[in-house]
Structure 1
Amino acid sequence: MSIVADQVRRVDSQLDKLQLAHLKSATSSPILTYRRLSTTSEPTEQISTSPQIEELQVLIKALSATSSSKALLPAWRISTLLEQAGLSEGEVNALGETKSSYEKELEWLLVSKATVQAYGVLLNTLLEQTIPLSNDIWYWDEVLGSYTFTAIYMIQTSPLRLWDWTKDIYEDSRERFSRLRESPEDTLSATAIGTNVTARWKTFYGLVRDSIRERSVTDIQARVLSPLAKSRSEARRKQAGLKRLREMSASGLGVLMDEGLNFDIGEDTTGIQGVDGSDWNVVVERSVALMDTVLRNVTALETGVSEFEDIVFASVADDPEISSRSMGMGELRDKPAKLCKRLQNILSTHIPAHVQAQQHLRSQYGRPHRLVRYWLPATVLLLSSTTILRIVVNRKAAILQWIQDLGSTMQDFWMNWIVDPTRKIIKTIRHDEGSEVAIMSRESLKGDRDSLERMVVDFAIDNPEAAGMGGALSDAHIAEIRAKVKEGDLTPVLRAYEKDLRRPFVGTVRGDLVRTLLIQVQKTKVDVEVALSGIDALLKSQELVFGFVGLTPGVLVCIGVGRYISGMFGERRGQKYGHRAGQMIRVLRNIDRILTTSTPSPNGILSYKDHGLLLCEVHVLRSRAARLFPGEVEREFFEDVNELGDISIGIERQLKVVQRIRWAYGKWLSK
């Protein structure tokens, strides 16, 4: 919510209080009538009614700042509502009916509501046009603050200087040629001008050379100033014009804010009894005249601020359309139609003319156009565009291949390191047999162990003496040998192996040395498989852990990339936040500077110009504070800002408010 909307709501509320206080009968109260229309659908008790009265009531409701969440209406909407009202002078309305006292009061209320809305439109226009002037003034400060920036400005504006010089030469030569043709016959011969086109062009070309020669002599005389000095002088001149324009606009804003629609009523209806029934009508008339006069004179830069204020107040005091306070209500009731026409003229003519004049002055004194500031890099880019395009075309295949490789790499990484490990983890959680981790087959150990048992049993049957038996082995002995083999005991084989080792050659040829060695190889294979089965069981017990370990690298890479990207955007958000906080600090500095360098009145309050400048800075401060503070802190901040913009408290208290804002909200302003 802007300070203009707050001001419009405050003035509209004061107008409502005046209506409620001075109307004796609630049934004939226009303000109660339109408020009931806006809050309830029940029929209201009225003294008299007509289509014109009902139309006025609806229009008053539409113009009221308190009847909707949007306090300000656009200028075209206000003009449309005033035209729709069709107010007429005299005792007869637009429908040919005699106006009642109630209808005349409604007309005054309608014009007053429209005046409040037009007042808000004008304040908003002055604010929007005054605030950007500071940026242009800072631009000229930057140009004047460094010779490097001055040289850049000189290069940027060199085409304009050349164009102005060429145009001056052309205009001067054309003027000379016109004077030459208009010379009397006795002072100029026909051959001097020429009778054909070629001769005329030769004559014109000679005049151009003479003009250039004279300009060159003038330039030689002006060479005491370097091009940089001329550019700095031009920058100072434009900066001074902008400062004068800002001071005039700020003075007009301060005059309107302090003197416009000032009913001298407090928030608690203080002073409302001292306002006569016709006083508020005169205030409305004076406010309309004040807006008209400010719009006519605020762009006249040849006058100073003090002279501008004197002209405004003198014009308002001598305005013939303002009623005197000695006039009765009967005479005042004929004024709404004239005020309506004047308001329409302000909205449709004066405000657009003021905006156009302000834009013309800003284009004359403000920073150069973007085309002027960036023509040099744009020209360099344009000239090098063919080379850049040629490089891109020649490397088109390589660039496309890079893009394809990048896309395929990202796709493969996503599928192989994110999707597939995730699927395996899901299968592990579901105990999917196809997802089990194993380094050997399930039946491998069982088959090798059974084979070892058969080898040892067969060896023991073939060599019962190695098994410690004198004769054939019984089933009990065979079962005992099988049990020992399962436990890893190969005693029969080892006995025969030890016996054959005594005579290795004989044992190899005639004994069982080779057979026992092969059985021990099988035993070693079984032992290895037993160890592997233990490792396999360990892997199966930690299968979920290994799944997450396989997923971790891809997740870490994704998290890193995501944090980097979010950090980039977060850094931008942080930079924006810090930029806004820094802007608010600079605005507070400007406010402190306005308050400390101002020349207060005998009452200790700001002048109109300083008040206007303060309002501009307060408006910027409120707009920069959006979404910068938490909810409750933001409300408290706006309370302090509203107190800062109230000049009635005096400069000393305003400076204390600035200090309070700095220490109370320094936590957010220092980020």
Structure 2
Amino acid sequence: MQKRVVGPVARVRSEVRVKQNKLKRMRVRGANALGVLLGEGMVNESIHGEGLATPSEQSGPHKWKASVARNVALVEAVLGRVHEEGLGVDKFDSAIAESTDEDPLYEVEFWSEGDKTRCSVQPAQVAERLHQLLTVRLPAYNASSTALVQQHGRPSRLVRYWLPLTVGILSSSTILRILVNRKAEIIQWITELGATIVDFWANWVVEPTRKVIATIRHDEGSEVSIMSRKSLEGDRASLERMVVDFAVANPETSTGTTAPLTEPQIAEIRTAVREGDLTPVLRAYEKDLASPLMGTVRGNLIRALLIQIQKTKVDVEVAMGGIDALLKSQELVFGFVGLTPGILVTLSLYRWLGASMSRKSGEKKGRDRGLMIRQLRNIDRVLANARPTEFGELFYRDQGLLLCEVHVLGREAARSMPDQVRREFAEEVEELVDVRSGVERQRRVVERIRWAYGRWF
């Protein structure tokens, strides 16, 4: 009737709820069993004189002999009945008591014979039961726990991912055919991508960096220049020779007479030319402009014009030299300007990759912190909902639940807390799981953990 009326999704949800309830009951039984072991074992051995493991009026080594024997029997009884489906939590303590009442290891007796104290249990019996516990009971308990978790826990990977696996298998031939047909293009894309990355790194990061380093070290080969070093000197020397030759050929333009120029006069003309003074040439040029035709015939006008063109060329090179000097003074700035695009792109990619990784790390850290907050909330719920005994302590079920939650909390805290803080936190955890301190004190410990270690939560 249910399969016909209810849809498949509702059936799956119902099955999930049933399995969740079974796992919760299994968890509560395990916590109750753990509480019994802690409350009745050597850790908290009936300090109030009541309970399953109330020791006899023995002292010294006899008390510890009885404690060891009783604990072996208690662990064996708990492991044997913890996975019984029909055994409720309210009946678990009485069931353990029934199992241990008939156990000779649990009812240890001592009597005196003369000067010696006899024991009803021999060490060989305890050793044999302990060996059976380690070789039979514990492996059987582990196997049973694993089977129950697999039965009621998360389904297998095949069940969870059957749909994408089916789609992948059905479309695998098409994908393979596409890959085979475009094999050359895919290889070319990968090759070009790698070559682009290598060229970008070499041309826009390595090479500009090398130029900046060479600039800092004053490497002559790396200097910024818009004209050659010897160009200006050569043009100046050529202009000087042209003016001197013109003045020697036309002495009247320099001295006003036709007498040949002397060496001091030629040296004075050379000095004037170096300073940019072309008076002999300009005088001849002004004179020939009065009769351009005759000046052209004699050739002085054209010659003077060509000398002025050379002078203009020298002036332009002087101006370019000033710009060149300015560029050289700012050469390091231009080097960094050339390096900036490559650095920016590289830094952007690095920041993007770092942000992606840190986002994943932050999400993981956030999940860890969220888990720690939930564990602290579960611990608070256990202590708030617990009904303490007449001595103000937790019952076995609540004690086991508290220990399980605290164990998970300590495991997560070990991943996120520094060493020193983790050692201090371990002290708080030890005080928190000390059931003998009472529920009220345990609640105060939870409050102290909340405000003292809040930044790691």
**Residue 602 of structure 1 is aligned with which of 384, 390, 409?**
390
Q: 2:208 aligns with which of 421, 425, 433?
A: 421
The equivalent residue for 2:335 is: 547
Q: CA contact under 8 A between 2:215 and 2:223: conserved in structure 1? A: yes
* 8 Å Cα contact 1:278-1:325 kept in structure 2: no
Moved more, 326-335 or 448-457: 326-335
Residue type of the alignment partner of 1:292: E
Aligned partner of 1:173 in structure 2 is none
Question: Which one of 343, 368, 391 corresponds to residue 178 of structure 2?
Answer: 391
**What residue number does 1:259 align with?**
40
TM-fit CA distance, 1:225: 4.1
- Write the letter of the residue equivalent to 2:315: D
Out of 78, 82, 102, which is 1:298 matched to? Answer: 82
Structure 2 CA distance for partners of 1:469 and 1:288, relative to 1, 3 Å: same
Aligned to 1:19: none
The alpha carbon displacement at 1:667 in A equals: 1.7
Decide whether aligned partners of structure 1 residues 414 and 523 sit closer, same or farther in structure 2, where only a CA change above 3 A counts: same
Q: Secondary structure at the match of 1:331?
A: strand
Range moving further from structure 2, 613-622 or 574-583: 574-583
Q: CA deviation at 1:252?
A: 0.6
Residue identity opposite 1:235 in structure 2? V
**Displacement of 1:396:** 1.3
3-state SS in 1 of match to 2:104:
coil
Within-5 A mapping of 1:602-621: 602-621=390-409
Greater alpha carbon shift after TM alignment, 636-645 vs 318-327:
318-327
Q: In the alignment, which of 350, 356, 360 is matched to residue 562 of structure 1?
A: 350
2:98 partner amino acid: A
Q: Which amino acid aligns with 2:65?
A: N
Q: Deviations over 1:478-508 (max 9, x none)?
A: 2111111110011111122222223334433
The count of aligned residue pairs is 444
- 1:117 alignment partner in structure 2: none
Are the aligned partners of 1:428 and 1:544 in contact in 2 as well (CA < 8 Å)?
yes
Is 1:524 paired with 2:308? no
The equivalent of 1:242 in structure 2 is 23
Q: Which residue of 1 aligns with 2:239?
A: 452
* 1:283 aligned residue: 67
Residues 232 and 533 (structure 1), Cα distance of their counterparts in 2 relative to 1, 3 Å cut: closer
Cα deviation 1:427-486 (Å, max 9, x = unaligned): 444444433333222222122111111111222222222224212222222211111111
Question: Please, which moves more after superposition, 329-338 or 391-400?
Answer: 329-338
Tell me: higher relative CO, structure 1 or 2? Use CA pairs within 8 A at least 6 residues apart. 2
CA contact (8 A) 2:243 2:307 kept: yes
Counterpart residue number, 1:319: 103
RMSD: 2.4
| Mapped partners of 1:249, 1:344: distance in 2 | 23
**Cα distance between partner residues in 1 of 2:448 and 2:121:** 51
Deviation at 1:294, TM superposition (A): 0.3
Rounded Cα–Cα distance in structure 1 between residues aligned with 2:223 and 2:70: 93
Say which SS state the counterpart of residue 244 (structure 2) adopts. helix
Comparing 378-387 with 335-344, which one deviates more in the overlay?
Answer: 378-387
Aligned to 2:284: 496
- Contiguous gaps of at least 5 residues in structure 2: 48-56
Q: Secondary structure at the match of 1:467?
A: helix
SS at match of 1:302: coil
Does residue 227 of structure 2 align to residue 440 of structure 1? yes
- Is the contact made by 2:23 and 2:153 (CA closer than 8 Å) also made in structure 1? yes
1:405 Cα deviation (Å)?
A: 0.5
Q: Does 1:651 align with 2:435?
A: no
- Residues of 2 paired with 1:540 and 1:498: CA distance? 41
Q: CA deviation at 1:614?
A: 0.9
In 2: Cα distance, 1:233 partner to 1:544 partner: 74
**TM-score of the pair, normalised by structure 1:** 0.62
Distance 2:339 2:76 in 1: 75
> Contact conserved, 2:110 with 2:119, CA < 8 A, in 1?
no
Structure 1 residue identity aligned to 2:184: A
Distance 1:511 1:657, change over 3 A: same
Gaps in structure 1 of 5+ consecutive residues:
1-218, 267-272
Closer, same or farther: CA 333–302 of 1 in aligned 2, 3 Å: closer
CA distance in 1, matches of 2:7, 2:237: 109
For 1:360-371, list aligned pairs within 5 A. 360-371=147-158
Seen in structure 2, the aligned counterparts of structure 1 residues 562 and 223 have a Cα distance that, compared at 3 Å, is: closer
SS in 2 for 1:354: helix
CA displacement, residues 43-99 of structure 1 (integer Å, 9 cap, x when unaligned): xxxxxxxxxxxxxxxxxxxxxxxxxxxxxxxxxxxxxxxxxxxxxxxxxxxxxxxxx
- Per the TM alignment, residue 547 of structure 1 is displaced from its structure 2 partner at its CA by 3.1
Cα distance in 1 for partners of 2:438, 2:359 equals: 42
CA distance in 1, matches of 2:352, 2:133: 56
Structure 1, residues 322-344: CA drift from partner, whole Å, max 9, x if none? 34344346432861111101011
Identity across the alignment (%): 56
Question: What do residues 557-601 of structure 1 show as CA deviations (whole Å, max 9, x unaligned)?
Answer: 222222222222222222222221111001111111112222322
Cα contact 2:110–2:117 (8 A) shared by 1: no
Q: Distance in 2 between matches of 1:543 and 1:505?
A: 52
Measure, in 2, the Cα distance between the counterparts of 1:519 and 1:487. Answer: 15
Q: 1:289–1:316: 8 Å Cα contact kept in structure 2? A: yes
Q: Aligned-pair distance for 1:522?
A: 0.3
Q: Is the 8 A contact 1:279 1:325 kept in 2?
A: no
- Matches of 2:118 and 2:291 in 1, distance apart? 151
- Distance across 2 between alignment mates of 1:303 and 1:605: 24
**Distance in 2 separating the partners of 1:303 and 1:335:** 33
Aligned counterpart, 1:660: 448
Q: Answer whether contact 1:248 1:301 (CA < 8 A) is retained.
A: no
Letter of the aligned partner of 1:383 in structure 2? Answer: L
The residue that corresponds to 2:52 in the other structure is none
2:388 aligns to what SS in structure 1?
coil
Q: Does 1:400 align with 2:184?
A: no
Q: Deviations over 1:517-537 (max 9, x none)?
A: 111000011111222223333
Contact 1:251 1:610 in 2 (8 A): yes
CA deviations on 1:627-663 (whole Å, 9 max, x unpaired) are: 4122332222222122221222222222222222122
Residue deviations 1:598-635, cap 9 Å, x none?
23222222111111111111000000011412233222
Flag the 1:232–1:263 CA change in 2: closer, same or farther, 3 A.
closer
User: What TM-score, normalized to structure 2?
Assistant: 0.90
Distance (Å, rounded) in 2 between the aligned partners of 1:621 and 1:248:
21
Letter in 1 for 2:187: L
> What do residues 85-143 of structure 1 show as CA deviations (whole Å, max 9, x unaligned)?
xxxxxxxxxxxxxxxxxxxxxxxxxxxxxxxxxxxxxxxxxxxxxxxxxxxxxxxxxxx
- Describe the superposition over 1:232-252 as per-residue Cα deviations: whole angstroms up to 9, x where unpaired: 433332222212111111111
> Which residue of the partner structure matches residue 40 of structure 1?
none
Amino acid corresponding to residue 88 of structure 2 in structure 1: G
Letter in 2 for 1:309: D
Q: How does 1:19-58 map to 2 (within 5 A)?
A: none
